[in-house]
Amino acid sequence: AQSVTQPDIHITVSEGASLELRCNYSYGATPYLFWYVQSPGQGLQLLLKYFSGDTLVQGIKGFEAEFKRSQSSFNLRKPSVHWSDAAEYFCAVGAGGYSSASKIIFGSGTRLSIRP
Amino acid sequence: EPEVTQTPSHQVTQMGQEVILRCVPISNHLYFYWYRQILGQKVEFLVSFYNNEISEKSEIFDDQFSVERPDGSNFTLKIRSTKLEDSAMYFCAGKGYGYTFGSGTRLTVV
């Protein structure tokens, strides 16, 4: 079955500290992986995506993620968090390419709080 | 960059009323989706639509829900008789090579 697991429901880090949010997936085909961020009451903003090529992808707002096929993981990292990074983060998996109708599946999210 | 447009951004309706949520996908997208997010919860798949037909639907998408693309442009989600538990953010998405989400419609059923 296709699924996305975000094992951390809530993480608190100090401003300026590094961050890693974990994501594991199960997907039958070649995965197309995403990280989205959502502020309270707002929509989904795409941080970054991976389909192929370099397994370390750079995104907006200083975020990066590394695809590890052997571990079925796509962890999100940021070297130094800012108070404005406090939000809900969702990992998602889907299928890339024009010929696939496969839906995108979301993890349950990780809420990030920033300690001043 | 092309966008998926959803209207209205917020809708309040009385329980039992019908609502139609509207989406204008990106013109060259082939596949369309509706998702739901109850406050504080994960984003859940409702339905996918391709070639004027439903291609997949979840258990949530029961007989109270329907989708259509009436004019080849708009993509709509109808809830026939709203319940309190239908209160949520509804996202439309389209897929070409990748997925593009709209900014959502917040539905409040009172």
Q: Which residue is closest to B100 within chain A, CA to CA?
A: A46
What was the pLDDT predicted at B72? 76
For each of chain A's 116 residues, which pLDDT tens digit applies? 789 999 999 999 999 999 999 999 998 878 899 999 999 888 899 999 998 888 999 999 999 999 999 999 999 999 999 999 999 999 999 887 767 778 999 999 999 999 98
3-state DSSP assignment of residue A69? helix
Distance CA A109, CA A21 (A): 10
Minimal Cα–Cα distance from A80 to chain B, Å? 26
Residues of chain B found within 8 Å of residue A96, distances taken between Cβ atoms: 97-98
- Give me the pLDDT at residue B20, please: 96
Amino acid at residue number A64: E
| Chain A residue with minimum CA distance to B39 | A41
The predicted pLDDT at position A65 comes to 98
Residues of chain A contacting residue B89, judged by C-beta atoms under 8 Å apart: 43
Say if the Cβ atoms of A49 and B98 lie within 8 Å: yes
d(C-alpha A29, C-alpha A103), whole Å:
12
Can you read off the two tokens belonging to residue B77?
């989600």
Structure tokens at B71: 């004019």
CB atoms within 10 A of CB B80: 13
The pLDDT score that the predictor gives to residue A112 is: 98
The pair of structure tokens assigned to A110 is 């990780």
Q: In 3D, which of B74, B102, B95, B101 has the Cα closest to residue B29? A: B95
Is there a contact between B95 and A90 if contact means CB atoms under 8 Å apart?
A: no
CB distance A12 to A83 below 8 Å: no
Q: Is the peptide bond before B8 cis (omega within 30 degrees of 0)?
A: yes
Contact A29, A95 (CB under 8 A): yes
Beta strands in chain B (DSSP E): 5-7, 10-13, 19-24, 31-37, 44-50, 53-57, 65-68, 75-79, 88-95, 99-101, 105-109
In terms of DSSP H, where are the helices of A53-97?
none
Nearest Cα to A43, choosing from B98, B58, B35?
Answer: B35
- Residue-level pLDDT at A77: 98
Check whether B16 has a pLDDT greater than 90.
yes
Residues B18-66 pLDDT 10s: 999 999 998 888 899 999 999 989 999 999 999 889 999 999 999 999 9
Tell me how many degrees the CA angle B5-B6-B7 measures, rounded to the nearest 5.
Answer: 125
- Residue B98: the pLDDT is 81
Residue type, B99: Y
Shortest distance, CA A92 to any CA of chain B (angstroms): 10
Cβ–Cβ gap B101/A34 under 8 Å: no
When CB atoms are compared, the residue of A96, A101, A108 closest to B31 is A101
Which member of B41, B48, B101 has the closest CB to residue A101?
B48
Strand, helix or coil for residue B97: coil
What is the chain A residue with the closest CA to B101?
Answer: A44
* Beta bridge partners of residue A10, listed in sequence order: A111
